[in-house]
Structure 1
Amino acid sequence: NYFSKNPVTGKKVDWYTDFYYPLLNQWAERVRMVTSPDKLIFVEPVPNEFCPTSLAEHQPANMVFAPHWYDLNALFAKAFGDFTVNVQGLSRGMFPLKTFYWGHKGARENYTLQIRNIVEKAHDSLGERPVLLGECGVPMDMNKGEAFETGDFKWQARMMDALITALEQSLIGFTLWNYNPANDDERGDDWNGENFSWFSRGRALPPSLLYYEQDAPSLDNGGRILQSIVRPYAAKTAGIPIHFQYEMNTGTFTYTWVNSTPNPASQTYLKGEKSVFKPPRTGHPALMSLETELFLPSQLAHGRTVIVKGLDPGDKHRYDESRQTLFIVCQDASLDKVHSIVVSLDPPLAPAFAVNDFWGDFGGTITSILVAIAAIVTYFFLL
């Protein structure tokens, strides 16, 4: 069995070093022969797994680490509700009760922990290589396809928000699976029994009724759970991002970044302190501009006032709805200067759902039971 033992040497086979890395580097070499020697190579390990430590010595030049991640419990069961499980932790021996999460707040925390672990393990193995989540998504046919009957995709919207919130808080780019212009409720994506497309041709207007201007609302017709997908993000940052958090139920987001320096000698923190929240602030190219650009969709901001708080005196901001961009210019370019803004909309967005958690849902009941038990114990104690 050459999948378990090398027939020539008799040594136990390692899938990565014996099969994957040779294929990876041969493929990278051939691609660059017909394109460019600087072509970026996106490398994916086994989905949902941490970056193998052996990749560091076998990685091709100009590599982008591009792992895939899905909520495996929801994916295989095609079901999602208030109860979620940290499959990553469970598979690595975590105490089961610590892997259980309740409510939307719990789902956000669960997904954030798992994705952050993948990102940080990648940096532990590879150093400061770019990391992009190469594939992630939400099954639209979950919960026995009930949304196809009711038209209410609330659970898909909640799951997508939890997923993208985790990606935002882990400061990682991603590829959302998927957009399929031929999708419909019956056939799904017409591949492998999947139905992940957040656009459905079966729910869209026919082409003859569409307006094709860039800002035409009819182009969004057929989109599902757009309130979870259409979100602001930092397109260009004059510095190093260190925090982003968006609340889709109000349209408010917080963004924090720090001025960097090209001088690696000014590194001030220990290696063990590195995380997605403490990226290296040194050794980066010198800033060519003081302007930060944030994508702020007109779908959110149209008809509303964009409010920016947290800027220092002399800093400027401008929102251009036609370009769906919020421009921020901060005057203080000194080393390690932290900029933090809170952007909100007036009036705020209408809430799509409640961000519930365990104590919010059951705290009152649990408290009542404990009070009743205490009263009974006290009664018998005083007899």
Structure 2
Amino acid sequence: MLRVGLTGGIGSGKSAVAARLVERGAVLIDADRVAREVVAPGTDGLAEIVAAFSDAVLDDDGALDRAALGAVVFADETARRRLEAITHPRVRARTAELSAAAAPDAIVVNDVPLLVEVGLAPTYHLVVVVQTAVPTRLERLARDRGMGRAEAERRIAAQADDARRRAVADVVLTNDGSLTALHDAVDVLWKHRLVPYEDNLRQRRVVPAAPVELAGADASWPEQYARLAARIQHALGSDALRIDHIGSTAVPGLAAENVIDVQVAVASLADADGPLADRLAGAGFPRVPGQWWDDPRPADRGRWEKRLHGSADPARPVRLHVRVADSPGWRYALLMRDHLRADPDQRAAYLLLKRDLVAAAPEAGDSGTARNPWFDEEYLRAEQWAAQTGWRP
């Protein structure tokens, strides 16, 4: 199943997005509803809260008085963390139960107001953020919830700001217009990204490669890499000895094919062929069939074997190279990246070469550049630079 994290600030219209996704066929897990469920009357969650904070946090009917509890924990960091230690594990466990009950081909949307604040972004295949201008949010909170301006501003200030949300967002839905416009944006997302992503994920199918085109340098490529790397790290844990952004999109200012190259260092290729491959596929990075290797430098050193994974997300192509830590291929990828970052002349020469090769054979992609003699010469230049500067991977 495809796991989607949905978040947005108070008054952004996140609930409207969630409702529309349910209409399209999504399974919704509402974190606020789950949080209320795990501390309902008669639960051990409520009993533990009373034991920690006394029955002063109960109302006359024996239910949790959220305002009273909030008054206790809002300005007391220790008390807040004590409350989170009670509620968060229960919310996670109940969320896992609800997710496990969904069909294998489900698109499960987790509506989590504090997704950014509690660091949950890497646990989802995709994160959708609903973003709305603060004046519009204040107006909606006053109109729809009868909330005073001071209280609304306090609530907004207590949450992550737009910049922090955008940093974890694979998709940003702007909701400053009409409900119809918002629904149209959700429908496009559902049809063209979520549905095919789920199908690719379930079939363990890599998004097909498109003919190579060089895109202008995109300042967001490092941020996109960071989101991918966080998911990979979450999936692999300590089996990923190191994760790096490599290739052209890792060189600032360099025009490149709009594909993020990621290198994962492992202890051995036997590890890469075991459960690690399944975990990557489950995280949205299926194995690319076939045998894969790098062309060595110099060219007479045989083949540098590796494993290659791609992306199941139709909107974010990825080449994920799994190489043994400290192997020649692993070192070469980092050396070339760092030398091109440091040497503007070689960066310009590389770009001219890529443009010529792509114009001549767009279907060849990186394989067309890797076999070019320029790379043998660049390898020698990079090694000289490494010796002069004391570079290490």
More helix per residue: 1 or 2? Answer: 2
TM-score in terms of structure 2 length: 0.26
TM-score in terms of structure 1 length: 0.27
Could you say which structure has the greater relative contact order, defined with CA pairs below 8 angstroms and 6 or more residues apart?
2
